[in-house]
Chain A
Amino acid sequence: MKLFNAIMIGLKDIWAHKYRSLLTMLGIVLGVASLVAMAAIVKGMENGMKESLVAMGGVDKVRIEDEDVPLHQQHLEDQAPGKTMADVLALQQNATLVRLISPEMGLRNDVVRRGGKTAYPSETVGVTRAVLEMNLYEVQHGRFFSDYDQEHASSVCVIGTGIRDELFGAPEEVGEEIIPIGEIIHLNGQPFTIVGMFKHYESEMTRKLRELAQQNKDKQEPGIQRRTGWRSQRWDAFWRKNNVVYIPIRTMWVKFRSGAGREVEMDDGSIVAMPDPRLDDIDIKVRDFDKIQEAIAQVKNILMITHNGIEDFEIDTQEDRIEDINKNIRNARMSGGIIAALSLLVGGIGIMNIMLASINERIREIGTCKALGATGTDIFAQILVESVTLALLGALAGILAAFGLVQIIEAASPTQNSPVITTTPMIIAVAFSCGVGILAGFFPAIKAARFDPIQALRYE
């Protein structure tokens, strides 16, 4: 009951000095707004990064990458074998902790053409069926390569929707979804039959924007609208995922790589190239994610044997990437937290200042209250409640401001990952503001509680 009264009196006092109170609260408002908005932006960032991580094949994907041989082995450099199918075979037979191995043999300077149209894939690779699970692909139309295709090195390919968009037209432009199964495209001049097309991959954010664009489409004039807002940015993880051309690995070998190595000039003047058996990538997935370190050690041991002890490779886990993401997030949180803490500190000082001014103005009122039977505790509670009320009003305004801020950010840069406002930072912000209010009000409240009623009454 007393508390309610104290809050009501506090609110009245705040209302009586609207502008003063508003200015006082500004620090808290800014602090809370930056805390909540920052957290929302970081959350958006986090979501985006996790989405692209999944787009790149999930957290349990381990990549074996080429690496310069270490300094002490530099004299062996020209004997370094690189990654070959021999590694894949060795791993398949010996790496018990590995569940899935996906060899990839890439095509350099890859271009696909059809009619007058040209597309530059994110990658053109010869793969096996393992790639589907490795890179988390789903064939939505048609089929993946069969064992027959693999065995006979058939000229077939499975493409991402991005390649379809470039060569046949995107659904948004054409008005209908074209499924080019059975069509023939030219990959670096060689004809290939499209036998399958993957699902379309996009981030939450792009999906929302695309749907929005779809809705607004009726209102807008048709025509020039290429490469705007909702399209994935070139080179982001989703763009890369949608712009692949996969062919059977044996096809890659027979058609492109068996004569792509070092060139040799024959006696009759003709030039013949050596085969290039190197794989661009060996991706693996481990059997047990908890034993990833052991699995990596095992893989490394096996590869050291197949590579004649020359360490020309590096094993790269998504863990490193997750670590990077977490580090970025921590940094962003930290800087947001520091800004918020400083604002809250400034806000707290402002509140303390205003509460000191307020009790000096009300010294007679306080004396009167004491004459009417208020105890020191009553006065203390009154001032403290006013200070906390001020801080909490500021926090409330700050949360509202954060919503506004996030709207503005979203409007300003729609291609970024959209910020997500969560309740945790709000609760933290409110709790902090409450604490700031208590700290800021404590000293003035003690001062007011100790006013001698007589001095307070005689005070003019």
Chain B
Amino acid sequence: MPLVELRDIHKVYHLGGEEIRALDGVSLDINEGDFCSIIGPSGSGKSTLMHILGCLDSPTSGTLKLDGMEIQNATPRQLATIRNQKIGFVFQFFNLLPKLNVLQNVELPMVYSGLGGRERRERAMEALRHVELENRSKHRPSQLSGGQQQRVAIARALVNNPRIIFADEPTGNLDSHTGELILDMFRGFHREGRTIILVTHDPEIAALTSHKIEIRDGKIAANLDRTLAGLDRPIPAAV
């Protein structure tokens, strides 16, 4: 059974009298352990798709099944729990809370799951070790470089040990070298067996992933799953 099942998703915005079909009949499956990329030009509906997959947004029509659960029937509180427990987000603009230090930022998802202070701190430090930033735990986000901030965001996404990690153009705001380091990290998580969904408009990045979904004008233009097609090959360590 796939981890994510998306069936005939439509998302329609009304802007003035105009109807914008951000997503227009999208159906797709994502399996556990997939390293999946969603690629397409700007405005094609990638972010919208990711937000629906990440239970942040609800579709105009269609169904989404995540880890066996029908998302369209869930209450806002259940959705919050799903986002908290099963999903980790990494954003293009890092989205760290500026007034909290690095450690507190990483602790935040565990605050919402109601974990005690000691355990929170230990797990947050563990996650920071994972992204090699344990010595920056007391710094403010503004005192870190872009790459470091994104690593903090990644630690924050990992800390509740989610089933899926969503990353919306995680390298979009970084120079190419730092971007590669971040991508290396995602590859590492993939090798550890995590499910990753990466949104990008860069074909070179998409080429690194095992499952490539191309989206154009809200429709799926190509869906190439190399693991299913038997085309799976070792992913090169660097581009």
Q: Are A374 and B99 in contact (CB under 8 A)?
A: no
Inter-subunit contact B56/A373 (CB<8 Å): no
Q: Which residues of chain B come closer than 8 Å to A370, judged between CB atoms?
A: 56, 80, 83
Q: Confirm or deny: A453 has a beta carbon within 8 angstroms of a beta carbon on chain B.
A: yes
Is B148 on the interface with A (CB-CB < 8 A)?
A: no
**Count of chain A residues near B, Cβ 8 A:** 24
B-binding segment of A18-26, A224-232, A287-295, A361-369: A361-369
Complex interface: stretch among B113-121, B181-189, B191-199, B214-222: B113-121
Closest A residue to B162 by beta carbon equals A373
CB B11 to nearest CB in A, in angstroms, measures 10
Q: Is the CB–CB distance between B77 and A371 below 8 Å?
A: no
Cα separation A364 to B111 with both chains bound (whole Å): 19
A166 at the interface (CB under 8 A from B): no
Beyond A371-B83, A371-B89, A375-B76, whether A12 also contacts B100 by CB under 8 A is yes
Q: Are A376 and B76 in touch, CB under 8 angstroms?
A: yes
A376 vs B108: C-alpha distance when bound (angstroms):
15
Residues in A with CB closer than 8 Å to B91 are: 368, 371, 457
B10 contacts chain A at the CB level, 8 A cutoff: no
In the bound assembly, the distance between CA atoms of A12 and B114 in angstroms comes to 21
In the complex the two chains form, what is the Cα distance from A439 to B97 in whole Å? 27
Please give me the residue from chain B that is nearest to A4 by CB atom. B117
Is A375's CB under 8 angstroms from B111's CB? no
Closest to B76 in A: A376
Asked if B97 and A373 make an inter-chain contact with CB atoms under 8 angstroms apart, the answer reads: no
A378–B112 contact, CB under 8 A?
A: yes
Q: Can you name the residue of chain B whose Cβ is closest to the Cβ of A376?
A: B76
The residue in chain B whose Cβ has the minimal distance to the Cβ of A16 is B99
| A368 to B168 Cα, complex, angstroms | 13
Which positions 113-128 of chain A face chain B at CB distance < 8 Å? none
CB distance from A8 to the nearest CB of B (A): 8
* CB-based nearest A residue for B116: A1
Residue-wise interface mask of B (147-173) relative to A, using a CB-CB cutoff of 8 A (1 in contact, 0 not) = 000000000100010000000000000
Q: Mark B70-101, 1 if CB is under 8 A from A, else 0.
A: 00000011001101110001010001011110
Cα A374 to Cα B116 with chains together (Å): 16
Partner of A375, one of B51, B77, B156: B77
Q: How far is the CB of B149 from chain A (nearest CB, A)?
A: 13
Residue from the list A364, A368, A373 in contact with B84, Cβ < 8 A: A373
User: Does A305 sit within 8 A of B, measured CB to CB?
Assistant: no
A101 to B156, CA, bound (A): 88
B116 proximity list for chain A (CB < 8 A): 1
Q: Does A372 contact B (CB under 8 A)?
A: yes
Cβ of B89 and Cβ of A372 under 8 Å apart? Answer: yes
Q: How far is the CA of A13 from the CA of B100 in the complex (A)?
A: 10
- Complex interface: chain B residues within 8 A of A12 (CB): 99-100
- The docked-state distance in angstroms from the alpha carbon of A454 to that of B125 is 29
Contacting B56 at CB < 8 Å: which of A371, A376, A377? A371
Interchain CA distance A367-B54 in the complex, whole Å: 13
Output the nearest chain B residue to A374 by Cβ-Cβ distance. B112
Chief secondary structure at chain A's binding surface: helix
Interface mask (B48-65 → A, CB under 8 Å = 1, otherwise 0) = 000100101100000000
- Which A residues are in CB contact (< 8 Å) with B45? none
Residues 113-139 of B contacting A (Cβ, < 8 Å): 113-117
CB of B40 within 8 A of chain A?
no
Q: Are B117 and A374 in contact (CB under 8 A)?
A: no
Chain A residues, Cβ within 8 Å of B113: 373
B163 to chain A, nearest CB (A): 13
B14 to chain A, nearest CB (A): 15
- A13/B99 in contact, CB under 8 A: yes
A219 within 8 A of B: no
A454 CA to B95 CA in the complex, in Å? 13
Tell me how far the C-beta of A431 lies from the nearest C-beta in chain B, rounded to whole angstroms. 29
Q: Which residues of A contact B95 (CB under 8 A)?
A: 364-365, 367-368, 371, 457
**With contacts A9-B100, A12-B99 known, is A1 near B117, CB below 8 A?**
yes
Taking CB atoms, residues of chain A closer than 8 Å to B51 are 454, 457
A371 touches B81 (CB 8 A): no
**Given the contacts A9-B99, A12-B100, A13-B99, A371 and B112 also touching, CB distance less than 8 Å:** no
> Is A216 engaged at the interface, CB distance under 8 Å to the other chain?
no
Chain A hits for B89, CB < 8 A: 371-372
Contact between B112 and A372 (Cβ–Cβ < 8 Å)?
Answer: yes
With A12-B100, A16-B99, A374-B112 as known contacts, state yes or no: A457 contacts B85, CB within 8 Å: no
A303 to chain B, nearest CB (A): 80
CB distance from B129 to the nearest CB of A (A): 20
Bound Cα distance from A365 to B96, whole angstroms: 8
- The residue of chain B having its C-beta at the shortest distance from the C-beta of A6 within the complex is B111
Alpha-carbon separation in the docked complex, A16 to B54 (Å): 32
Give CA–CA (A13, B160) in the complex, Å. 26
Given A16-B99, A372-B108, answer yes or no on A457-B156 (Cβ-Cβ < 8 Å): no
- Determine how close the nearest CB of chain B comes to the CB of A15; give it in whole angstroms: 8
Provide the bound-state CA to CA distance between A365 and B99, in Å: 10
Chain A residues with Cβ below 8 Å from B83 are: 370-373
Once the chains are docked, how many angstroms separate the CA of A373 from the CA of B162? 12
Query: Most B CB atoms within 10 A — which of A2, A364, A453?
Result: A453
User: Nearest chain A CB to B41's CB is how many angstroms away?
Assistant: 18
How far, in angstroms, from A371 to B56 measured CA to CA in the complex? 7
- Tell me, in angstroms, the Cα distance from A369 to B76 when the chains sit together: 14
**Chain B residues near A377 (CB, 8 Å)?**
77
Q: A1-B116, A1-B117, A454-B56 in contact; A372/B99 too (CB < 8 A)?
A: no
Q: How far is the CB of A446 from chain B (nearest CB, A)?
A: 14
B97, A2: Cβ atoms closer than 8 Å? no
* A5 touches B (CB below 8 Å): yes
Closest residue on chain A to residue B84 by CB atoms: A373
By the criterion CB–CB under 8 Å, are B97 and A365 in contact?
yes
B104 CB to closest chain A CB, in angstroms?
8
Closest-by-CB residue of B relative to A455 is: B57
Q: What is A's interface to B at a CB cutoff of 8 Å?
A: 1-2, 5, 9, 12-13, 16, 364-365, 367-378, 453-454, 457
Chosen A-B contacts, 30 in total, with CB atoms closer than 8 Å, are A1-B111, A2-B114, A5-B111, A12-B99, A365-B97, A367-B95, A368-B91, A369-B97, A369-B112, A370-B80, A371-B54, A371-B83, A372-B84, A372-B89, A372-B108, A372-B109, A373-B85, A373-B112, A373-B113, A374-B112, A375-B76, A376-B77, A376-B80, A377-B77, A378-B80, A453-B56, A454-B51, A457-B51, A457-B56, A457-B91
